[in-house]
Amino acid sequence: MMDVVQQIAFAFHFSAKRIDVFKEEVKENDEAKASMEKRQKLQTLCETRWASGANALFTFKASLEVIDGALHRLANMSDTKARVYTCPIERFDFILPLIVCEHVLQILAPLSEMLQSKASDLIEAMKETRAVYAVIQNERNYGAVWDALYESAVQLAATIGVEPLSPRCAGHQLHCNNTPVDSTEVYGKRSVLCPFYDHVLQELDDRFLQCSERFMAQHLVPSNLGNLTDDMVMQIYQTFSADIPAQAAVFHTEIKRWIARWLLEDPGNLPSTLQNTLHDINPNLYPNIFNVLSVLISMPVSIASAERSFSVMRRMKSYPRSTVTTERLSGLAMFHAHEDMGVDTEAVVRDFAQGKSKRLVFLFNN
């Protein structure tokens, strides 16, 4: 289903002719125009950003009737690939996963956006993860949500003339999902909803909930010290015992000095992020806290920062810059990452002019 959505989105995205036909279909369909919420084109999927996937699936679901009509019109206009794109979307085993995945990704979208923020609060992220986990687990165990999703899929399929049918089952087919059921509704629940919900629950548990004890160390950030308790300190020590060479009593004493250190400061000037805390901490005075925060900052719950770096590299190292050296490319990346920092242009010109002898005179000495 995801592959089909991506292929069709690319097909309309990179063709002016198809985009024009799509917009004409939207203008003629007032109901689809309202459900698309002022969107004028399809959105492509992103393999890593789940929030983007939720928006892309929502747009595709809301404009499914428009997409089907546009593809049929393009097929009549001798578009050879339009018929190829029409066949997979006019199947109930495509529409039902579309409804289920879009619904689940909408639940995960706020959490995904929170985790991809540069100033992500890991403690609040864990609370939100537990809330999302509870919601998905409740929907997986009770059938009221499934009934609504299935009815929504049946209604969406009816707009393009698709009947709710389940795939044919055969005992001798070893690689097919031959779920023994009597109805299409039960087949969809057992083969689509339950496996997908189980997969999401397992990923949430593996990626976040099992690491929640390590994220407790964010209470050592000066702005969060007011919520730090003795039990939390003991839990942090036990979790990071491999990275703390000191004994438990020494670590507790260091924590007391750490709290007293920041009580002397103005509450408005307390560091609120791990990066700022590591910048202000003295590793010689607080070696154990420094080790704990260094480990914590090196194990992000998402890879959003790395993905942003890859996106920057894709924009910078384009075909005209294919021969750029590593040193220059690293410099451009640093400029892009720290674009908010001011640059002293006179100092840059002075360093460039005095670097080595040049034929042109860049500086005029009085």
pLDDT the model gives residue 306: 62
Pick 285 or 53 by higher pLDDT: 285
Which residue, 217, 237, 225, is CA-closest to 294?
A: 217
Same domain, 34 and 103: yes
Q: How many CA atoms lie within 13 A of 36 on its CB side?
A: 24
What Cα–Cα distance (Å) separates residue 65 from each residue in 73, 81, 135?
Answer: 12, 18, 30
Residue 70, both tokens: 């546009």
Answer whether residue 62 shows pLDDT above 50: yes
Q: Which amino acid is at 19?
A: I
Answer whether residue 57 shows pLDDT above 70: yes
**Residue after which a domain boundary falls, among 177, 211, 245:** 211
Answer whether residue 313 shows pLDDT above 80: no
Same domain, 92 and 190: yes
Count structural domains, the chain. 3
Answer whether residue 365 shows pLDDT above 60: no
Segment of 27-31, 184-188, 306-310 carrying the highest mean pLDDT:
184-188
Answer whether residue 156 shows pLDDT above 90: yes
Answer whether residue 263 shows pLDDT above 50: yes
pLDDT the model gives residue 96: 93
Domain coverage including residue 325: 304-355
Same domain, 122 and 175: yes
Identify the weakest region by mean pLDDT among 34-43, 135-144, 208-217, 252-261. Answer: 34-43
Residue 259 lies in a domain: yes
Same domain, 189 and 221: no
Which residues, including other chains, have CB under 8 Å from residue 72's CB and lie 6 or more apart? 82, 86
Pick 308 or 161 by higher pLDDT: 161
Sign for the pseudo-dihedral over CA of 17, 19, 21, 27 = negative
> Mean pLDDT in the chain?
84
Residue 361 lies in a domain: no
Same domain, 200 and 235: no
Same domain, 95 and 186: yes
Residue 104 lies in a domain: yes
Same domain, 202 and 221: no
Average of per-residue pLDDT across 54-77: 91
Percent of the chain residues past pLDDT 70, beyond the cut: 88
Same domain, 207 and 232: no
pLDDT the model gives residue 366: 45
Same domain, 157 and 204: yes
Same domain, 231 and 131: no
Average of per-residue pLDDT across 198-221: 87
What Cα–Cα distance (Å) separates residue 290 from each residue in 156, 196, 209, 234, 241?
Answer: 56, 41, 24, 17, 13
Same domain, 240 and 141: no
Residue 57 lies in a domain: yes
**Residue after which a domain boundary falls, among 282, 297, 312:** 297
Residue 314 lies in a domain: yes
Residue 365 lies in a domain: no
Identify the weakest region by mean pLDDT among 236-240, 323-327, 352-356. Answer: 352-356
pLDDT the model gives residue 348: 82
Same domain, 104 and 223: no
pLDDT the model gives residue 198: 94
Find the helix packing angle between 194-207 and 92-115, rounded to 10°: 20
Angle at CA 303, nearest 5°, toward 302 and 308?
130
Residue 103 lies in a domain: yes
